[in-house]
Structure formats: C-alpha cells, structure tokens
Structure 1
Amino acid sequence: MVIADDDLVEYGFRRVIITITAVLCALLEIVDTTIVNVALTNMRGSLGATLTDVAWVITAYAIANVIVIPMTSWLSQQFGRRNYFAVSIVIFTVASFLCGNATNIWELVAFRFVQGLGGGALLVTAQTIITESYPIAKRGMAQAIYGMGVIVGPTLGPPLGGYLVDNFSWPYIFYINIPLGIIATLLTLTFVRSPKYGEKLKSNQVDWYGIILLATFIGSLQFVLEHGQQDDWFNDHLIVTLSIVSLFGLILFIWRQLVYKYPIVNLSVLKDGNLRIGTVMSFIMGFGLYGSTLIIPIYTQSILGWTATDAGLLLIPGSITTAIMMPFVGKMIQKGVPQGYMVAVGFFVFFIFTLLMYFNMTPDTGVEHMYWPLILRGIGLGLLFVPITTLSLSTLKGKNIGEGAAFTGMMRQLGGSFGIAIITTFITRLTQTHRVNLVANLDGSKLEVQQRLQQLQQGFMAKGYSINESLKKAYEVLDFSVMKQSTVLAYMDIFLYLGLLFLCCIPFILLIKKGNNKINPADAMH
C-alpha cells in the first residue's frame, strides 16, 4: 500500500517544527560548502599542506555531494525517509567532529568526503519533506521557506568562517555543526514521518552497477571541473582521461537506468515537461548563484585588499533581501502569478546587477558602489529560486516529488561547479589577454611613461635605494599596476558575459512556459 499524496501534509505546531528542522539541515549542508573557503590558508599552515592538497578539502566534499544527491530518493525508499534523513544528519555531525580533529591533510579530505555523503542527502530530502508537509495550494510558500536556507547559506559561510578563524581556529568551523546536528536528529526522529513506499528491494535486486557508474561519471566530472584550470585543462593527461571516463560513464549509466528493472535514478520522471524546464533553469541559476558568490569575495580580497570577514559581510544585505523576498514570491505563486513571468523578470534583474557591476568595477571600488547592485542580485535570486523549484515539482506526485527534487538539486550543484570552473578559467585567460594589450600600449618612448617611471624612481631614491635599485622597483610597481588593471578588466568581462547569459534565457523561458506551466485541477485534487 502506497501512502496517499496528501497524507503527509502537516498542520499547526508539527508543520512549524518540521519546517524548522528541514531548513536547519539544508542550511547546515550549504554553509559547509562555502565556510571552508576562508579557512584554507590556516589549514595549510597547521597541517603542513600545499595549496593543491588543501584544495581537495573542497573537492572531496563537492564530489561526495553530487554523487549522493541523485540517489537520495532511491535511498529514502529503501530505508524509509525519516530513518535515512536522521542517519544522514548523524553521519554529517560525526564527520564534522572528525574533520575538526584531523591531524593531517589526507585525514581531513577523507572525513570531508564522508561529511559530503551525509550532507548531500540533507539538501534534497529536506526539500522533499517540506514540499510534502504542505498542501498543494501552499507549496509555493513551502519552497519559499526552503529557499531562504538555500540562498542565504552560501553567503553566510564566508563571514561566519572568517569570524571563527580570526577569533578561534579552523576546527571550529566544523565543531559548530555538532550541537545543531544533535538538535536536528532529535527533532527528525520525533516529528518527521515517512511515506509508505511499498516493498523494499532485496540485496540482489539493488543496481550496484548503476551506483558504480553514477559515482564514476559524477566523480570524474566534478574532479575535471575543480582541477581543470590549475592543471591546464586538456593539456593534462589525467584531465583528458577523466573527461573520457565521465562521458562513457554517463552514457553507460543512462543505458543501465533505462534497461534495469529497479533503477537507482528514475529517468522516466523527466518525461514531465515542467521538471525538464526546471532542471535546465536550476543549472543556469546555480551557475549565476555560485559563480557570483565566488567572484565577489575574490575580487574584494585580491584587488581591493579586504579581509575575509569584510568580503563575506558585503554579501549579507543581498541575502537578507532574498530572504525577505521569498514569502512575497510564495504568496504571488499562490495567487496564480505565472512562474514563467517571474523567472523572466528574475533573470532580467540579474542582468541589470551584472551590468551595474561591470560599470562600477575599478581598482578602487568601495562598498557604496556594490551595495545596491548586490541588493538587486538578492531580488533577482528571490524571483528565480522559488518559481523555478515550484514549477519543477508542480505536476509531480508521491515519490516522484523526491525524484524531481533530486534532479533539480543535482543540476543546481553541477551548474555551480561548471560556473566556478568556467569563471576561474576565463579570469586567468582574460587577465593574460588584457595584460598583453596593456603592455603593448606602455611604450617606453612615450613621455607619460617616462615621467611616471621617473616619479617612481625618485620616490624610491628618497627612501635610500640606489639609482639602479630604484629603477628596478619603479618597473615592478608599473608591472603590478598593469597586472591589477588587467585583472579588473577580466572581472568586468566576466560580469558582462554572465549578464548576457541571463538575458539570452528570457525569451527561451517565455516561449516554453505557455504550454507547460499548468496544473490540472483534477490532479491537484488527488
């Protein structure tokens, strides 16, 4: 017997507690994705690791995340959603404790992988639990509440991490999860209910080949995206090999899921038109959300010389704007405002944000130049997240909701990985291009160049340097200035390209939605 679609709907105090538990778990998982970024330098020092080694702390977590996300719906059906959710929180919490106590870099990487396996499950299962706890008419509001955690999470990570590292030490970025994890586990076991899925699979029916192929395809792809830029992409044999492995892994995985009787990922759920559109838009939103979350702290720290905490705090007003937007957007969906229009407006607002950043970027940009563009970014994300998620899951029922949530979650994460990989590559390439162009204009025979060098040389001579040393240092200052300017130009280009990507999405969305964004009233009544 399979539980009716609306038997899991909760009311009053129980629904409030379940919502808080699910949002807390989603927030834990997402904060942990970005909180590590500001602590990498400290980790290197205390664990005696290289920059390449310490990058694995991020990579291991991301790989584990994207491997487990597509499997969450299947695992929920095998073990019961409440049990699986509770066990995932316990794994995440215990791994957090072990990460904080790691004595060398590879121990930390191993525990981060385990933490990622627990964390990936939290994200999608939390979304499914919230969706099913609300009646169909209020699911827009449910996604708005869940969206607060997902959007605010990546932004909370850097300032929180910066504060803990500056005032305590890096293990505390992991220890902070322990009390929250214990509370979430107790609330889950007390309040969350599991749907009855029917019979579980016997061990000989489990699609072990599917699991291996999924892990191979996703793991290889994530590694290529994380390490491609620093290893010079396809000039590196390992990157080429893993790209081929990932491609064949994907083809074989799709074939296996289509022919095997008990697939771990139900690809037939993608027959739903709304979910197909939603997965594409989730990918683009992940690209913009994680991409811009990456660019701004790096720009403010490397070009403007801000501290990690200041760089993180800059993003908070925009995140608060998104959180404030969420309930209003949820209400608009309940009143029948078409999600397609809201997403189109969201992408257009995001385009305006990128355009303002493009025009405001200089080597001396201040908080006042970025404050309002980042508020606009917050408004854009508010208009994108809830409508995209609600649209994706709007015509799904029963266990298909969990399977749909897994697809949108995976595509958002992969969109972020692609965004970060492509943006870091372009920043490096564009900086080199601009540098070459700027140096070509620095003709030593020009009077302005000669005067600038002379001024710098005299300044260094006044500090007691010899003529030759002063001239050498003058050239170094000029070179640094060129490098800084070419990096700023590269960031400007990135914002312009991101903006054009979002602008191109608008007609695509408006064309598709007309036929698809309808919920059959008869279906909604079941």
Structure 2
Amino acid sequence: MAGVAATADDSLVEYGFRRVIITITAVLCALLEIVDTTIVNVALSDMRGTLGATLTDVAWVITAYAIANVIVIPMTSWLSQQFGRRNYFAVSIIIFTVASFLCGNATNIWELVTFRFIQGLGGGALLVTAQTIITESYPIAKRGMAQAIYGMGVIVGPTLGPPLGGYIIKNYEWPYIFYINIPLGIIATLLTLMYVKSPKYGEKLKANQVDWLGIGLLAAFIGSLQYILEHGQQDDWFADGTIVTLSVVTVFGLLGFIWREMTYAHPIVNLKVLGDSNLRIGTIMCFILGFGLYGTTFIVPIYTQSVLGWDALDTGLLLIPSSLTTAFMMPIIGKMIQRGIPQTYMVALGFLIFFGFTLWMHNVLTPDTGAEHMFWPLILRGMGLGLLFVPITTLSLSTLKGKSIGEGAAFTGMMRQLGGSFGIAIITTFISRFGQQHRVDLVSNLNTTSFEVQQRIMQLKQGFMAKGFSASEALAKAHQVMDLSVTKQATVLSFMDIFMYLGILFLVCIPFILLVKRGKGKIDIADAMH
C-alpha cells in the first residue's frame, strides 16, 4: 500500500522548468484570492457614490465574498475528488476571472454583491487547491520548502491589497480593482491546463450518494456565522432581530451538521479525524494564527487612518516591510524543518515574538506616532508570522496518515479563515467599547477648575478670536477642540488595550504547544486536500 502511494506521489513530482511554472501558477492563484479579500476595503466609499448604495449595503461586498470563501474551503477536497484536481482548479480560476469582469461591470450594488459571492466561490477553491498542487510538485524531502513558498503568498497577500487598491483608486476608477484579475486569470488558466496534473482518485460518488444535506447545513451554519461576525458590531449584536435569528440558525445548523457528518456513509467533511489530539490543538492554533494575522492586518490600518489621518496608500506601504520579512523567513523556516528542528520550538518562539510585537506596539502608540516608531515592531510581527505559519500546519497533521491528512488540512484552512473573521469582529467591538469607557474615565478626571485646563482653553479661545471669531464662538470652538482631544486620546487608549490583550492571548498559547506529540517520521503534506 505504501509503495502504491509513493508511486502516485512520484508521478506528480515535477523538476526544472515545469516545476517553476507550476509554482508560479499556484502562488499567483493564491495571491489573486487573498489580495481580493482586502483590496476592496479602500474602494467602498467610491462604490457607494457610483452605485448609490448605503454604508450597510456596500458592506455586503466584503461579507458576500467572505461567506462564499468559508463555505467552499471545507468542501474543496471532496470537489477535487469528484471532478479531478486540474479540472476543478481550472474551472475555479475561470469562475473567479469571469466574476471579476462582472463585478467591474455591475450597475447596482446587489449585482455587485451577487458577483462577489460567485467570485468568492471560485476564490476559496484557489487558495486550498493551490497549496496541494505546489506541494505535490516537490519531492517529499523538499515539501517543507514547498509549504514555505506557498506561505509567502498567503502571508503577503492581505498586506498587498490596501496599497494596491489605494493606488488604483487614486489613479483610475474602482472597477479596475477587479479588471486587473482578468489577464492574470487567463494566464493562470492556460498554465494550469498545460502543466498541472491530477492524481488518480477512486470511484466517484453517484448523485444520490452526495451529501446534499451536509452541504446545506454547512452553508447555513458557516454563512450565518460569517454574517454575524461581519455585521454584529454595526447592528448592535443581539439587539438586532436578524442577528438573533441567524444565531439560532448557526447553533442548529452546527448541531445538525455534526449529526449528519457523524452518521452519513459518505460525509462531505469527515469529523472523526478530529479524534487526533495534535489536530485538535492544531486547529485551535490555526484559529489563533488567523486571529493574529488578519486581526493585526486590520487594526494597524484602522489606527493609522482613523487616528493619524493617513490615506490607504501610505497605510499599505507601512505594512509591506513586515510582509517582506515574513517572505524572507519562509525559505529559512522550510530548511529548518527539513533539517529536523522541532516545530514545537519554532511555534513557541513565534508566539513569544508576536507577544513582543504587541507589547512594543502598546508602548509606542500615541496620537502622533510616526511610521518610524512602528517600523521595527512590524518587522518583529513579520518574524513571528514566519515562525508560525508552516510549523503550525505541519504540527497539526504530524500524527495523521493517508487520507486523514487531507481531511485534517481542511479543518486547519477553515479555522484560519474563521480566526480572521472572529478577530476582526472582536477587535471592532472592543475598540468601540474600550473607547467609550476610556472617554468616560477621562472626562470624569478632567477638572475644569484646574489651572492647566483653564490655560489650555484660554489659549485655544485666543487663537480662534485671532481668526476673527467672536468671544462666545471662540469659547465654543475651544471646548469643541478639547472634546475632540479627549475622544482621540480615548481611542488611542482603546488601541493600546487591544494590543495588550492580543499579546496575552499569544503568550497563553505557548504552554499548549507542549501538549503536541512528536509525529513518528515525516508527514506527507501533499496528501492534504486529497
């Protein structure tokens, strides 16, 4: 049996020019998918103006894509088996590319939302299938390096979106953030059909054996949960009827999905693989990795734009050195894994470095923080991510065998995406609530009879009077400036709290790494998503 598996694996290994082309194709497709999760963020206001949409409506452009992504990721392994990996990958690229063209040509907001959902269905498949294709193209001894190359795309992608989107919006119009996918998608489709091979699968399921109920329950559970996370804060959570209804759907959808997958003969997601202790710990670590990756990619731009007044392009440029640090470290991490350095040490060090990053950011945040103050903390973030991505993936699957590896990898990919969604939702909520609390505390301690406060108000009043305002108008504006100053300081304090709590979360993870068992021999990550 092992010999057959080895032969199958060897038939997919490529060398020389073909492997280079396949690697470029897979990384390009992963980048296309991930960049599109963040590139639209900076174009939302332009979309609102062009399409005549409300802020709530335009938020669906992000939500629809995210929901489709998270629904399709756990099904990707099964779909690959049914249609053949090369065919499924090529069709996914075509769906993504055509949907990108339709997004750019949308004439109203709900057309755009519909096309974004379709684009997300194609994009979710690209992310996971690209990982498997690039891994299988390398010999077993070099598959740690293959994971590192793929990891570069996954880590760098979220950071490239905002500056690229900012540049396009500044120089062109918002449809071009979708049109740039079209030539790249055409090239990727042709290269896939020419160079990518499919492994040989067993007999396909008949239509009446397909787990349609499982698919429906998965879509209901994941889709409802993603909506709650995306819209909870702006809709005041459980004060909103839609959030309450979807919370009920989420709970019963999850329970129904678990029951269905544990009892059906041909489940679309094999939950029994979670009996492996390493995978259970690994899925939690992947969730926290997603929390840290997407959460910090979200919080830094929000801080620089809302507090410091930067534009999207400058914010994106600030994050690029951090991503380049991660990209530089990925091949080094791949070689360390090949040399047998325990991944547990790397993961523990990664969480410790991430704690150092959050603590450093906590200490440098002020209403006037400059790029020079955040440069080195963000470099530290890049180092931490480099030490976490590949080692966590390999640790999660290290005690699994054969088909179970692919089934386990579906969970790690899904949990990383959900971790990002939870991270953004929780951070958004706590920034608002911590900010309100800090404002109350600052106002209660602001003694209007103190000499310093009165002197500041007098200085402001005189400044406004010098600009031609009357005494009463100048005093009112002075009080306004003081109020804005208090609000800004409260916001900075809330960001400091968020970084501190994130750091504590990463620090608490370190002891759990000790619970991970060492795998017996090297795993074949290429079985992931089979």
TM class by smaller structure: over 0.9
**SS of corresponding position for 1:315:** helix
Whether the aligned pair in 1 keeps the contact of 2:93 and 2:189 (CA below 8 Å) is yes
Deviations 1:293-350 (A, max 9, x none): 0011111111111111000000000100000000000000000000011000000000
Mapped partners of 1:126, 1:89: distance in 2: 11
CA RMSD of the aligned region, Å?
1.6
Q: CA deviation at 1:5?
A: 4.1
Residues 35 and 157, structure 1, Cα contact 8 Å, conserved in 2: yes
Match of 1:481 among 485, 488, 501: 485
Matching of residues 351-366 of structure 1 within 5 Å: 351-366=355-370
Corresponding residue for 1:204?
A: 208
From 159, 175, 181, the counterpart of 1:155: 159
CA distance in 1, matches of 2:372, 2:126: 37
Deviations 1:19-50 (A, max 9, x none): 11111111000000000111111111111111
1:399, distance to aligned residue in structure 2 (A): 4.3
Tell me the CA shift for residue 395 of structure 1: 4.5
Cα distance in 1 for partners of 2:427, 2:354 equals 17
Which consecutive unaligned segments of at least 5 residues does structure 2 have?
Answer: none
1:502-521 maps to which residues of 2 (within 5 A)? 502-509=506-513, 511-513=514-516, 516-520=517-521
Question: Which residue number in structure 2 is paired with residue 131 of structure 1?
Answer: 135
SS in 1 for 2:191: helix
The one of 402, 407, 413 aligned to 1:409:
413
Give distance in 2, aligned partners of 1:112 and 1:118: 10
Specify the SS of the correspondent of 1:471: helix
Would the aligned equivalents of 1:143 and 1:390 in 2 still touch at CA under 8 Å?
Answer: no
User: Do 1:128 and 1:401's aligned partners in 2 also have CA atoms closer than 8 Å?
Assistant: no
CA deviation digits over 1:492-513, x for unaligned, max 9? Answer: 000000000000000111x212
Q: Name the residue aligned to 1:73.
A: 77
For 2:273 and 2:250, the matched residues in 1 are separated by: 23
Match of 1:87 among 91, 114, 123: 91
2:107 corresponds, among 103, 106, 110, to 103
Partner of 2:255 in structure 1?
251
Kindly tell me: are residues 164 and 522 of structure 1, through their superposed partners in 2, closer, same or farther at Cα, counting changes over 3 Å? closer
Q: What is the aligned counterpart of 1:220 among 209, 224, 245?
A: 224
**C-alpha displacement of 1:13:** 2.2
Selected match of 1:448 from 434, 445, 452: 452
Work out whether residues 274 and 392 of structure 1, in 8 Å CA contact, stay in contact via their aligned partners in 2: yes
| Partner amino acid, structure 2, of 1:161 | G
Please, which moves more after superposition, 257-266 or 56-65? 257-266
Mapping of 1:332-351 within 5 angstroms?
A: 332-351=336-355
Q: Are 2:419 and 1:418 aligned? A: no
Match of 1:393 in 2: 397
1:331 to 314, 335, 340: 335
Aligned CA distance change for structure 1 residues 150 and 420 (closer, same or farther; 3 Å): same
Contact 1:124 1:402 in 2 (8 A): no
**Range with bigger deviation, 133-142 or 3-12:** 3-12
Deviations 1:429-468 (A, max 9, x none): 0000000000011122222211111111111111111122
Q: Which runs of 4+ in 1 moved over 4 A?
A: 395-399, 521-524
Q: Check the 8 A contact 1:140/1:387 in 2, yes or no.
A: no
Please report how far the alpha carbon of residue 521 of structure 1 lies from its aligned counterpart in structure 2 after TM superposition: 6.5
User: Does the 8 Å CA contact 2:398/2:523 hold for their aligned counterparts?
Assistant: no
With over 3 angstroms needed to count, the CA separation of the structure-2 counterparts of 1:220 and 1:521, relative to structure 1, is closer
Which residue pairs with 2:190 in the alignment? 186
Instruction: Kindly provide the CA deviation profile for residues 131-155 of structure 1, in whole angstroms up to 9, marking residues without a partner as x.
Output: 2222332221111000000000000
Residue 14 of structure 2 corresponds to which residue in structure 1?
10
Instruction: Give yes or no for contact 1:73–1:399 (8 Å, CA) kept in 2.
Output: no
Distance 2:453 2:8 in 1: 77
Question: 2:276 and 2:337 mapped to 1: Cα distance?
Answer: 20
Structure 1 residue 393, shift from structure 2 partner = 3.4
Instruction: Spell out, residue by residue over 1:332-383, the C-alpha distance to the aligned partner (whole angstroms, 9 max, x if none).
Output: 0000000011000000000000000000000000011000000000000000
CA contact (8 A) 1:125 1:402 kept: no
**Alpha-carbon contact 2:397-2:523 (below 8 Å) kept:** no
Q: What letter is aligned with 2:182?
A: I
Alignment-derived partner of residue 495 in structure 2: 491
Aligned to 1:47: 51
After TM superposition, give the deviation of residue 396 of structure 1 in Å: 4.4
TM-score, structure 1 normalization: 0.97
In the TM superposition, what is the alpha-carbon distance from 1:194 to its structure 2 partner? Answer: 1.1
CA contact (8 A) 2:163 2:316 kept: yes
- Is residue 2:290 matched to residue 1:286? yes
Q: 1:437 aligns with which of 423, 441, 444?
A: 441
Q: Residues 193 and 269 (structure 1 numbering): CA distance in 2 closer, same or farther, change over 3 Å? A: farther
Identical amino acids, percent of aligned pairs:
79
Q: What secondary structure, in the 3-state scheme, does the structure 2 residue paired with 1:201 have?
A: coil
TM-score of the two chains, using structure 2 as the length reference: 0.96
Q: Confirm or deny: 8 A CA contact 2:358 2:499 kept in the other structure.
A: yes
Cα distance in 1 between the residues matched to 2:164 and 2:282: 31
Q: What is the Cα deviation at residue 275 of structure 1?
A: 2.7
In 1, Cα distance between the equivalents of 2:466 and 2:360?
42
Number of aligned positions between the proteins: 522
Change in CA separation of 1:366 and 1:36 when aligned onto 2, cut-off 3 Å? same
- Gap change, CA 1:62 and 1:107, over 3 Å in 2: same
* Residues 1:261 and 2:262 are matched in the alignment: no
Q: 2:475 maps to what in 1?
A: 471
- In 1, are the aligned partners of 2:140 and 2:524 still within 8 Å (CA)? no
How far residue 522 of structure 1 moved from its aligned partner, in angstroms, is: 10
Asked if the contact 2:81/2:204 (under 8 Å) is kept, the reply is yes
Matched residues in 1 for 2:396 and 2:233: separation? Answer: 33
Give me the whole-angstrom Cα distance separating, in 1, the residues matched to 2:65 and 2:400: 30
Q: Tell me the secondary structure at the aligned position of residue 78 of structure 2.
A: helix
How far does residue 397 in structure 1 lie from its aligned partner after superposition?
4.9
Q: Which amino acid is 2:417 matched to? A: Q
SS in 1 for 2:515: helix
Please state whether the residue corresponding to 2:366 is helix, strand or coil. Answer: coil
Out of 320, 324, 331, the position equivalent to 2:324 is 320
Q: Secondary structure at the match of 1:229?
A: coil
Deviations 1:105-159 (A, max 9, x none): 1111000000000000001111111222223322211110000000000000000
Report the Cα distance in structure 2 between the residues aligned to 1:69 and 1:293, rounded to whole angstroms: 21
Say whether the 8 Å CA contact 1:347–1:384 is kept in structure 2: yes
